[in-house]
């Protein structure tokens, strides 16, 4: 079992390295028509394309002392969506980046509060099974973590950069249409949960919480359905629905991660950006305050889970799209 997991990780890391050599840190959100293979038997011309969509938004509200209600606020949000694609004959390398960070300060609060924080990176290498059908053998590496520390309602730090981080290394097949729709199925995947500081382990899940380790590996099946397309000159849609089933621990309880972003382009510089994410992980646990101890006055906390997590943001701000020719 460990040999299989090591082989998966090595294959995915090789894919990651190859894409990085193709200047993968640039990026974009649009479909690159990976399913289309031009003259696979005789065309050795390599093609590289990169696009990026950075955005920056600010929010501010001010009230006079005579105003009956309202609270002064100040906030900002920075984000980047992008991808690079390298193709040659029947192979492709693709790398995507989805990152966002937002903070705000309300009223007389002494410090800014984090409102949004994500760092999602995906790297894939594929080889066309046949030139006639846009179907590929694929190895893929997917990373999800955050930039900064996170706190619960009581002000206790419960997460940080790479604490936790979720990494999925997969081997499987992928269908990629010329219309932005793709589907991947991997019967052999390894999902790794990494906690760079064991102080946060108890906030991740019961397995890591009961054992002071930095790492947990789960062997299972992974599937992804995605749509990535500019549906008009002014509207771009990117959505990804992911499923993971752990072979060794309640495989019938499937983990789900669904992200959607919609960009409404007002003009070259201004856009409205809608983001939504829904997550369900079967091993996640949450501490909930259920009362107060009458003798000590301390909170009575109960560990519960799992449950659906949901986040949504709507932002208007400055954007600028760039791309290679």
- Per residue of the chain (325 residues), give pLDDT as tens: 444 444 444 444 434 333 333 333 323 333 334 333 333 333 568 899 998 989 998 888 777 676 666 778 888 999 998 999 998 888 989 999 999 999 988 877 778 888 889 999 999 999 998 877 889 999 999 999 999 988 876 677 878 888 889 999 999 999 988 788 999 999 999 999 888 877 766 666 545 545 556 788 889 999 999 998 888 888 989 899 999 999 988 899 899 999 998 989 888 888 888 889 998 988 776 666 777 777 777 777 676 677 888 888 888 888 888 888 7
Query: Residue 234: which residues within 8 A CB-CB, separation 6 or more?
Result: 264, 265, 266
SS3 of 214, please? Answer: coil
Q: With contact defined as beta carbons under 8 Å apart, do 167 and 160 qualify?
A: no
pLDDT of residue 123: 95
Strand partners, 170: 140, 189
Q: What pTM, to 2 d.p., does this model score?
A: 0.76
pLDDT of residue 202: 64
Query: Residue 50: which residues within 8 A CB-CB, separation 6 or more?
Result: 23, 26, 27, 28, 82, 83, 84, 85, 323, 324
Distance CA(291)–CA(299), nearest Å, equals: 6
pLDDT of residue 209: 47
Q: With contact defined as beta carbons under 8 Å apart, do 214 and 232 qualify?
A: no
Largest CA distance in the chain: 81
Nearest of 253, 252, 256, 225 to residue 243 by alpha carbon: 256
pLDDT of residue 59: 82
| Domain membership of residue 89 as a residue range | 2-323
Q: With contact defined as beta carbons under 8 Å apart, do 270 and 302 qualify?
A: no
Number of domains in the chain: 1
Q: Write phi, then psi, for 139 (nearest 5 degrees).
A: -115, 135
Q: With contact defined as beta carbons under 8 Å apart, do 74 and 36 qualify?
A: no
Strand partners, 58: 76
Q: Within a 13 Å sphere around the CA of 128, how many CA atoms are in the beta-carbon half?
A: 21
Distance CA(282)–CA(123), nearest Å, equals: 25
Please report which helix (H) or strand (E) contains residue 49, including its range. strand 47-61
Query: Residue 220: which residues within 8 A CB-CB, separation 6 or more?
Result: 189, 190, 191, 244, 245, 246, 247, 248, 251
């Amino acid at each position: 079992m460990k040999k299989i997991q090591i082989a998966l990780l090595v294959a995915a890391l090789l894919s990651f390295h190859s894409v990085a050599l193709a200047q993968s840190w640039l990026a974009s959100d649009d479909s690159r028509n990976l399913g289309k293979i031009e003259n696979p038997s005789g065309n050795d011309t390599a093609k590289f394309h990169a696009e990026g969509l950075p955005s920056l938004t600010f929010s501010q509200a001010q009230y006079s002392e005579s105003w009956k209600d309202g609270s002064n606020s100040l906030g900002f949000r920075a984000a980047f969506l992008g991808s690079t694609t390298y193709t040659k004959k029947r192979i492709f390398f693709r790398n995507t980046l989805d990152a966002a960070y937002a903070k705000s300060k309300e009223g007389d609060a002494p410090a800014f509060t984090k409102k949004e924080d994500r760092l999602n990176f995906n790297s894939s290498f594929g080889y066309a099974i046949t030139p006639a059908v846009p179907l590929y053998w694929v190895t893929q590496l997917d990373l999800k973590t955050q930039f900064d520390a996170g706190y619960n309602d009581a002000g206790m730090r419960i997460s940080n950069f790479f604490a936790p981080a979720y990494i999925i290394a997969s081997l499987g097949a992928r269908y990629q249409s010329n219309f932005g729709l793709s589907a991947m199925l991997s019967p052999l995947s390894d999902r790794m949960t990494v906690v760079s500081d064991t102080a946060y382990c108890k906030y991740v899940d019961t397995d890591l919480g009961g054992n002071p380790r930095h790492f947990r590996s789960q062997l299972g099946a992974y599937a992804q359905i995605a749509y990535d397309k500019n549906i008009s000159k002014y509207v771009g849609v990117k959505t990804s629905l992911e499923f993971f089933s752990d072979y060794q621990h309640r495989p019938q309880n499937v983990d789900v991660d669904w992200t959607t972003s919609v960009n409404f382009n007002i003009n070259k510089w201004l856009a409205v950006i809608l983001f939504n994410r829904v997550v369900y992980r079967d091993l996640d646990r949450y501490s909930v305050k259920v009362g107060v101890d009458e003798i000590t006055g301390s909170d009575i906390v109960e560990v519960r889970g799992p449950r659906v997590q949901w986040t949504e943001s709507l932002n208007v701000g400055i954007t600028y799209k760039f791309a290679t020719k």
